[in-house]
Amino acid sequence: MAVQAFTNASVLIGDLDASPFTNKVSSQVTVEMLDGTVCGTGGFRSYAPGMRNGELSAEGFADYAVGGTFEKISTGDGGTSTLMSMAPIAPGATLTAGDPCCFMRGPLDQMTVGPDGEAAGLAKFGIHIANDSVFAMGVVLHPIATRSTTASGTAVALTGPTLTQTLWAGLHVTTGSGGTLTVRVQTDDNAGFTTPTTRITFTATTGPVAMGEMKFLVPVNISTETHIRADWTITAGSFMFAVNAGIVQNV
């Protein structure tokens, strides 16, 4: 166990790896409470949980160069549904498959991407999204990295989902050219992946995926599956991408 300082993190917004520009993050899930107080409750209020909401935001410094915050997130993206992912990285460590993460898709409802800041200060950037999907807390399947050949990722222990749960996965492709990338999420009942089954297939792409992609597996009971991994095919060229997955209770 280790309480840790926030000194490093992976922050991905659509096709932007925002980690080098970010100095503050917030990721919160909330549950609405409905007052269900009736007669005879001894004078105490009672509540029932309602809808769940997710919010993700990141703040930091703007970069107007190619590949920076301004090029990747423009005013025209406002309101567009975008995948955002966050994963903590312990001081001195690197992000690896199996590390915890959260990810969510939703409209970019607050943006600071144009010139913003004080004279002689650093220009700022800021992003906030509200969810139009679930708020998933899960595991990193493929930390952001460049690949140029077809391969499979590291097996990560993750059991399920059951019929009352849904498997969600998110894909960020930040750069890519020269061929086609197809990413899949597979599960198996053993860490060696001797009998893998593809559960989710992302849309094939020939370049960066501007808003990222988040998909889910139609609820099915695969509670005997104990491991999960990313798997990808690259016809030619090279692609920088990241894959996350999480199981969310359907309630």
Partner 1 sequence: MAVQALTQGKVLFGTAWTGTAPGPPGTQTVAGTITSSTDISFWGKSLSTPEAFEALDASGFGSGGFRNYVAGMAAMQGSITFFQDYAAGGPYATLSAVTLAKTLTYWDVQPVNGARSATNPSLVFAAFMTSFDFMTAATGEVMEVKVGLQVTGKWAHLIA
Rule CB under 8 A: which residues touch partner 1?
1-7, 9, 23-33, 37, 40-49, 52, 86-88, 99-100, 102, 135, 137, 248-249, 251
Counting beta carbons within 10 angstroms of the beta carbon of residue 138, is it exposed (0 to 12), middle (13 to 18) or buried (19 or more)?
buried
CB of 1 to partner 1, least distance (A): 5
Containing 70, the helix (H) or strand (E) segment is helix 69-72
Nearer to partner 1, 21 or 202 (CB): 21
Smallest gap from Cβ 38 to partner 1, in A, equals: 9
Residue 159 burial class via C-beta count within 10 angstroms: exposed 0-12, middle 13-18, buried 19 and up = middle
Q: Which helix (H) or strand (E) holds 71?
A: helix 69-72
Q: Which is nearer to partner 1, 2 or 120 (CB)?
A: 2
| DSSP structural state of residue 20 | G
Q: Residue 31 Cβ, how far from partner 1 at the closest point, in Å?
A: 5
Residue 176: which residues within 8 A CB-CB, separation 6 or more?
A: 205, 206, 207, 208, 237, 238, 239, 240, 241
Minimum distance of partner 1 from residue 233's CB (angstroms): 31
Residue 166's identity, in one-letter code, is: T
Residue closer to partner 1, measured from CB, 10 or 174: 10
Give CA–CA dist 240/177, Å, rounded. 10
In whole angstroms, how close is the CB of 180 to partner 1 at the nearest point? Answer: 33
CB burial class (10 A; 0-12, 13-18, 19+) of residue 194? exposed
Minimum CB–partner distance for residue 156 and partner 1 (Å)? 14
SS3 69: helix
Which is closer to partner 1, CB of 101 or CB of 200?
101
- By beta-carbon proximity to partner 1, the closer residue of 33 and 204 is 33
Task: Give, as one character, the DSSP assignment of residue 217.
Answer: P
| Number of C-beta neighbours around residue 215 at 10 A | 17
Question: Closest approach of Cβ 214 to partner 1, in Å?
Answer: 16
Q: By C-beta, is 88 or 196 nearer to partner 1?
A: 88
In the bound state with partner 1, the residue whose beta carbon lies nearer, of 17 and 77, is 17
